[in-house]
Structures are given as C-alpha cells and as structure tokens.
Amino acid sequence: MSSKKEKLSVEPYKGVRDFYPEDQAFYNYLLSTYRQVAERFGYVEYHASVLEPAELYKSKNAENEELVNEQTYTFVDRGGREVTLRPEMTPTVARMVAARRRELGFPLRFFSIPNVFRYERPQRGRLREHWQLNVDLFGSKSLTADTEIIAVAAEIMRAFGATPNDFEIRIGSRIFLDSLITQLSLSDDATKEFVALLDRRRKIPAAEFDATLAELGVPLALLSTSDTPDEVRVVLKTLAELGINNAVYDPSIVRGFAYYTGVVFEVFDTHPDNNRALFGGGRYDNLTTLFDDEPIVGVGFGMGDVSMRNFLEVRGLLPVYVPPTKLYIAVAAPEDVSHALMLAQELRAQNVAIAVDFGDKKLADQIKAATKHHIPYLLVVGENEITSGTFAVRDLATGKETPLSRTELASFFLALA
C-alpha cells in the first residue's frame, strides 16, 4: 500500500529538535543539575501546560507588542478560544501564584524547567523551541532576595564545572535607569532608543555608542561604573560575603522585558569565542497585578538549554554519554532465548539494566547491535553456558573477557556504577 503513496519527510517541524538518547541524556543531566542546586536553596518544582490563554501575553504592556504580534504561536481553538504556546514562563508563574496567594507561604521559592516557543523566521537559523530553567522568589522586598537569586545562578554555574573565571555576573538597576530618564526628561521615543542602545552596548563600537548617546542628550559620565547605585552596592557586598567575587556593576544591563523594576543581572561567558550573555533576570514587582490589585513582589531568572550547552561545549565540560544499559545478553541460538530471559530477570531483580537479544539474527550481528547501542558489556547464553553456569563477560571496547559464575554477575555490574 505504502509504496504507491508519496512518502513523508522524517524531519521534525522547522526549528524544533528531536532528542535521540544522547541528546536526552544531556537534557536529563541539565535537569538533574538544575534541580539539585535549586532544591538545596529551598526552591520547589512546579509546572504548567504549554498552552495559555492568549490574553496573558497581550495585556502586559505595549513594549511586548512585537513579541505578541510577531513572535508567538497564537491560534484559535475549535471552541473559539485564542490560545498561545507560552513564549516565556514568568506570566504563567505569576498567574499560578496569584491563584493560590492564600495557601502559599511567603517568601515562596519556585523553579521549573519548561519548554518555551518563539516564532523565529527560518532563515535566521534560530530555534523555535527551547527549554528554560526558571527560578523565582516571591514575596520579599529584601535585597537579600535579589542576592540569593544571583547566588543560585552562580552555584548552578559551579555545579556544571565552571570556575569563577569562566563567567562574570554583571548587575544593573532599573531604579537607577528610571531615575536617569526622569532626571533627563527623556521623551517616550528617546527612552526607548536609550534603553535599546544600552542593551546593544557590548555589540557595537564604543565610538558609535558614545555618538548615539550624545545625540540622545545623555551625558556619558552618568553611566560611570564608579558611581554604583545603592541597591547594586548592597547586592555586591552580600555576594562577596558569600564568596562570590566575579560580580560587577554594569549600568548598561537593562534586560529586554518591560516588567523589570529593580536590580537586573546578566551572566556573561568570558571565553573569547563565546563572549556574550548566557542568561539573566531581575526584580519584577507588579506582575501579579494583572490578576488582582494586591501585588506580590518577585525576583527571578531564566536560563536556556542551548546557551548552556554552547557554554559547556566551548569549555570542554560536556559529559560523555553513558547509556543506562550495562549488559547485552546475546543468544547462541533462538531456543536459548528462554534462558536468556530468565537470567535477565534474575539480574534485573538486583537492579542491573539489561537488554536481551531475541536471536532473530546471527551472533556477530547481535554483537554489532550491542556496539551500536554503546552498551559496555556483552555475554552469550548458549548450551555451554547453561550447562557450566559460567559466563564470559566481554568488554565490548577492549574485547577482554571475564569468566563469571551466575552468582557473581550482579555484583560485577553494580560495581560499575
């Protein structure tokens, strides 16, 4: 039937990824590292559907217009509801916290590792879906909350094997920025241009930055790093007390999202081949007022899987893939499968991860299959082995064989892990 039809492509949808076992193993490594650090800081995991009512992103404010109109996946469901694939997690967590403000205790520490979607034009070669650690702390106006959030970010970097020299934490302030804009009486348009200019500072030549700044009527001296705003000074001091010394004040850190209201930060890769912001976050104090009049203050950050992978790759910190399966049981003949299944069942009961071949093909091809799966050890079940009770465990990388009795097998494999 099928040969007459036109064949389908095996490619995934444009801009999203398939996760084969090696990719998934890396993703699970990210997940468990994130989780371990977040939990040590008292954060608890939450999650939500990728589908959200489209209103959640529309109402926030005008600055999100481009994101909402051009970059989200928004469609109308069969019941006439407008629905969006979440482009970021913060509105969702604000909604969830607002929904249970009476039951939840504050300060509230929440983390999640959701997938988020952006419609990117294919030619840019950018991904339309990525996974993003989100860490948020609700209900504290204390600058210690801002500090803790940055400390969590720094500890995650350390947990991945990064040293303090591998990255720099740059801290800015929206309070300072807002006071500057008021002081200079910048128009709405000039403000927009000014913020965008700050955001681009590291990507353009200094001369171009200075010239554009002068055009906007902003004196360069106001952006001096020696004049650290109070809130940034407090955060830097507490970070230093905690032994985190790779943090600096940077007045050009402003963050894209309009909802930030206080301390903002970005973590920069210091590697010359990858010198850019890895991720960032900051304080946003009014998000829950979308849902009711009682604001719950918040501070948090988001960290994407792709930029973290690039960082680890450049630094040689990517873990080597090790499959969960430790042993492949091959069979000398199809009639030995029953014995192979029994042996596998015995060893599984002792927590050894085992794949069994059903003897559909000859032994050489069974061994080839085990190698393709990257399984480290193989043994053959045949008449000899069943009679003698001794199994030659072959190391598939070296070819070396270790003869083991049936009762010795489990401890041999458990010792590997």
* d(C-alpha 253, C-alpha 274), whole Å: 18
| CB 151, min distance to a copy of itself, A | 8
Shortest Cβ distance from residue 214 to a copy of itself (Å)? 33
- Asked whether 397 and 385 are in contact (CB, 8 A), the reply is no
Binding status of residue 16 toward a copy of itself by CB under 8 A: yes
Q: Check residue 414 for interaction with a copy of itself (CB under 8 A).
A: no
Cα(220)–Cα(230) distance, rounded to whole angstroms? 20
User: Rounded to an integer, what distance in angstroms lies between the CA atom of residue 152 and that of residue 142?
Assistant: 16
Q: Identify residues 18-47 at the interface with a copy of itself (CB under 8 A).
A: 18-21, 23-25, 27-28, 39-42, 44-47
Q: With binding defined as CB under 8 A, does residue 10 bind a copy of itself?
A: yes
Exactly one of 126, 141, 192, 362 binds a copy of itself (CB under 8 A); that residue is 141
Which pair of tokens denotes residue 367?
A: 């061994």
Number of residues that bind a copy of itself (CB under 8 A): 114
Binds a copy of itself (CB under 8 A): choice among 48, 67, 277, 410: 48
Q: Tell me if 286 sits within 8 A of 295, measured CB to CB.
A: yes
In whole angstroms, how close is the CB of 397 to a copy of itself at the nearest point?
16
Q: Which is nearer to a copy of itself, 177 or 299 (CB)?
A: 299
Nearest to 176 by CA among 281, 287, 251, 249: 251
- Tell me if 70 contacts a copy of itself by CB under 8 A: yes
Q: In angstroms, rounded to a whole number, what is the distance separating the alpha carbons of residues 321 and 410?
A: 23
Report in angstroms how near the CB of residue 241 gets to a copy of itself at its nearest: 6
Q: Is 66 in the site for a copy of itself (CB under 8 A)?
A: no
Site for a copy of itself in 327-366 (CB under 8 A): 328, 334, 337-338, 341-342, 345, 348, 351-360
Q: Record the tokens describing residue 104, joined without a space.
A: 């939840």
Nearer to a copy of itself (CB atom), residue 95 or residue 309: 95
Alpha-carbon span 283 to 317, nearest angstrom: 31
- Which position among 63, 65, 75, 416 is part of the footprint of a copy of itself (CB under 8 A)? 75
Specify whether the CB–CB gap between 301 and 279 falls below 8 A. yes
> What is the contact mask toward a copy of itself in residues 305 to 334, using x (rule: CB under 8 A)?
------------------xxx--x-----x
In the bound complex, what is the minimum distance in angstroms from residue 230's beta carbon to a copy of itself?
A: 16
φ and ψ at residue 379, rounded to 5 degrees? -135, 155
Give the full edge-to-edge strand order of the sheet including 390-395: 354-356, 327-331, 377-381, 390-395, 401-405
Q: Is 405 in the site for a copy of itself (CB under 8 A)?
A: no
Check whether the bond before 376 is cis (ω within 30° of 0): no
- Site membership for a copy of itself, residue 59 (CB under 8 A): yes
> Minimum distance between the CB of residue 155 and a copy of itself, rounded to whole angstroms?
8
Are the C-beta atoms of residues 117 and 87 closer than 8 Å to each other?
A: yes
Is residue 79 a contact residue for a copy of itself (CB under 8 A)?
A: yes
For residues 331 and 337, the answer to whether their CB atoms sit within 8 Å is: yes
